Amino acid sequence: MDPSALHKLWRPGYPLTVVSRKDSVRLILPSLLFAVGFALFHLLGNTADVETWGRSALVWMVRRWQDSGIAMGSGDYSHGFLVPLASLYVVWTQRDALLKAPKRGSAFGLTVVIGSLLLHYLGVKAQQTRLSLIAMIGVIWGVPFYLYGWNVAKRLLFPCAFLVFAVPLDFLEQLTFPLRLINSRVSADILRGLGMDVQANGTAIYGPPYDNTATLKLDVADPCSGIRSLTAMMALTAVYGYLVMRGVWRKWALFFAAIPLAMAGNIVRIVSIGILSVAINTNIATGLPHDYAGFIVFGIAIALMVGLSVVLNRDFKEVRDRWKRKLASARI
């Protein structure tokens, strides 16, 4: 609806708002699409273990966010509550550009909607609720693409794609064991560098005699693998990079840095628990400090992310020219 025509919607002497036929279609069509989408994904979204999860794909997703544990962030997907809020914030930052963007319907947008609905059908038939949720994201992006065209859709691409981080993607759990192996070996090397007599054996770290009979025994279990902080860090680096980083390659570089950042945070966690085990007691170190160390791990990862973003955002050409000027002045 044209904002300049809003004052014409109300005519003195008429009890109801007068809306043109064109504006009525623009209001009714999105409303119908929303109603159909709600019915498809809320009432017919989940077919896997319906007695436990119900028919709603949205309810299934929210329940998967609600992992048990100590406070928020203890579960693999407990950050999911924040993902839609972050997407809405990104859309809000784009509000002026969205309003001013030229708007023209796109047939390709309709193709995206139809393809997403077919993916939803496949997810329902295959009892794969995650496919239905990804299809829902496609519909959310495809509808404004169809109604308003590419100039609007390209500005909604990132906030819609970011919603994928709200979907519990269990295939990432396959990375758990390799991450545990890497974290245990690197942590053992660091502990030996600090003068501690330890060895890594599989996913465990032992003191003498380097087996299950050792007094010092640390098992790098699934929570210490980094998969929990990895999924959250990937989401955080994505939205932080989109809002802060200059240039496409810098955004992608920060996003892919989520993997080593999450691993670095968990290695610090394992090393600190190893030091506490030697300094105090293994049972104490693997108790309360271990349970709440996740907050420290994520804080370290965030600090590293911010530091890396500052480095990446530097204008390297300007830095190079400045060093050249300094070297030239030093020679004089």
What Cα–Cα distance (Å) separates residue 133 from each residue in 122, 180, 227, 239? 12, 30, 21, 20
Entry pTM:
0.76
Per-residue pLDDT of the chain (332 residues; tens, 9 = 90+): 454 554 454 444 444 455 566 666 666 776 777 777 778 887 777 877 777 778 888 888 888 887 654 333 345 677 888 899 999 999 999 888 888 888 888 889 889 989 999 999 898 888 888 899 999 999 999 988 988 889 999 999 999 999 999 888 766 666 667 777 888 888 888 888 888 888 888 778 888 887 777 777 777 765 555 556 678 888 889 999 999 988 888 899 999 988 888 888 788 888 887 777 776 666 655 555 555 566 677 778 888 889 889 888 887 677 666 766 766 666 65
Number of other residues whose CB lies within 10 A of the CB of residue 71: 10
What Cα–Cα distance (Å) separates residue 262 from each residue in 96, 150, 172, 291? 35, 35, 14, 17
Query: 109 near 146, Cβ under 8 Å?
Result: yes
Query: 1 near 20, Cβ under 8 Å?
Result: no
Task: Note the pLDDT tens digit of each residue in 157-210.
Answer: 999 999 999 888 766 666 667 777 888 888 888 888 888 888 888 778 888 887
Task: Note the pLDDT tens digit of each residue in 260-294.
Answer: 888 887 888 888 877 777 766 666 555 555 555 66
CA distance 62 to 155: 27
Task: Note the pLDDT tens digit of each residue in 93-102.
Answer: 988 888 888 8
| Domain parsing of the chain, residue ranges | 3-168, 173-319
